[in-house]
Amino acid sequence: MAPHAHPSDLGTEHSAGHGGRGGRGRTAGPVVGIVGVGYMGIATGLAFAHRGRSVVAYDIDRGVRAALRKGRSPYREPGLAELLGRESRRDRFHIVDSLSELARRAECIFLCVSTPPGPGGRVDLRPIRSASRALGAALREVRGFRTVVVKSTVVPGTTDEVIAPILRRTSGRSARTLGVAVNPEFLSEGRMVRDATHPARIVLGASGARAARAVRRAYAGFSAPIVALSPTEAELVKHGSNAFLALKVSYANELSRWTERLGGDVDRVAEAVGADPRIGPEFLRAGPGFGGSCFDKDLRAFRRRAQELGLGSRIADAALGINDDQTRHAVELVQRAGGPLRGREVAVLGLAFKAGTDDVRESRAFPIVEALLAAGARVRVHDPSALANFRREWARRSPRQSARLRFVRTAEAAVTGADLAVLQTDWPEYLRWPSAWSRRMRRPRLVDLRRRVPAPVARRAGLEVFALGRGASGPTPAPRGRRRRA
């Protein structure tokens, strides 16, 4: 994956009309509206502001609106707070308190509402249905052509069959005064700023020529090519892309079991495989399984939609199955490294689904911690950013709290007295692994599920490392004669 975005990486090119440093920027093109200012909504809105659009944004959550109005990002994401501050100072990113005001001011309105997982793999469309009804009612009050763009992830056919009819019915507008389009997002947490401001391609599925022109005008100044499709084709691109990327991750995870069994390093093998230009190196990094808000949810929704259409989805089946297998394999590696876990102290380091974010949705830390507790271990967990989110979600998932699970505020507290540590998320502070941490453990032993603690660091700290996907030389041995603190 590309490195995390930094404000200096946002590029030097500007659309015509950008204001000077710290001043109010003149804007060009249509006013852009953002409905739903979550991770995707704020990144989308700020990207348009960065390219010279005037952006008005609304979220149903008053707390989110209040934070953004003060220039504070509610989300941890590299470069996001800096971009928010910059575009707010340039007077190009505005928070409004009603959909009526947004509908009056914005010509091109992007629906960025969450589409959480529902029962049986279905997508829960209640949030986007509700937002569409409310937006449609607001559009009744304004004059002039408006274009509503579905940015939220929905299964193929949803915009034409569900969202567009709601918008037209509640707004009282026909295709003459209301355009509907689909413009899926392709953002990765940890690099959302870069992905939003410098997209690789812009997929556009419009219901008509006027709607397509409106969205193209909104994207004026972006250098990415625009791929014009139908709304359903655009929705299929989003799900097809995520299914393929999840399959690449799963393929690398299967390779990791081969290298452990036969001897070798999965990163060396994956690098050579990815050097083939027909394959490419992206998403070929093995770990304990994929997590986050997209892959698991979208694969299950894709599979459910395939069933409804009378189709099979072996790709989704395979990726989901391999992901579950890989998480079980990670737990087995922990058990092999630590021996019988009953009564043992285990530190789990990293709870976010990946470094650079506080997002714990579908994090592999949940099944790993659950398995460790089921094996009788006493578990301490730490994360520099996601501890509070993990604790809230754990309480929701496991109402009967275990006395053998502790949430601690520092990594040093997590490893003190531990028989074993597990690196689940590769935050930089863990990779430095000071010798003091090893001395505080009963036995300085680490299961590195990301293969990220450097061998020189481990040797200097007297740390035995068992790495997922590496089987040639076994654990990195601790130097002899090192005194260990009980």
Catalytic machinery residues = 294
Phi, psi torsion values for 233, nearest 5 degrees: -65, -40
Find out whether 45 and 32 touch, Cβ atoms under 8 Å.
Answer: yes
Contacts of 226 by beta carbon, 8 Å cutoff, 6+ apart: 201, 202, 203, 204, 216, 219
CA gap 330, 314 in Å, rounded:
24
Phi, psi torsion values for 345, nearest 5 degrees: -95, 120
Number of H helices and E strands in the chain, helices first, is 19, 14
CA gap 229, 318 in Å, rounded:
28
Helices (H), 187-310: 192-197, 209-218, 231-262, 266-274, 295-308
The token duo for 165 is 């009819």
CA gap 163, 161 in Å, rounded:
7
Find out whether 427 and 443 touch, Cβ atoms under 8 Å.
Answer: no
Positive or negative torsion for Cα 110, 116, 117, 123: negative
Find out whether 139 and 171 touch, Cβ atoms under 8 Å.
Answer: yes
Calculate helix-pair angle for 314-338, 295-308, nearest 10 degrees: 140
Phi, psi torsion values for 174, nearest 5 degrees: -100, -175
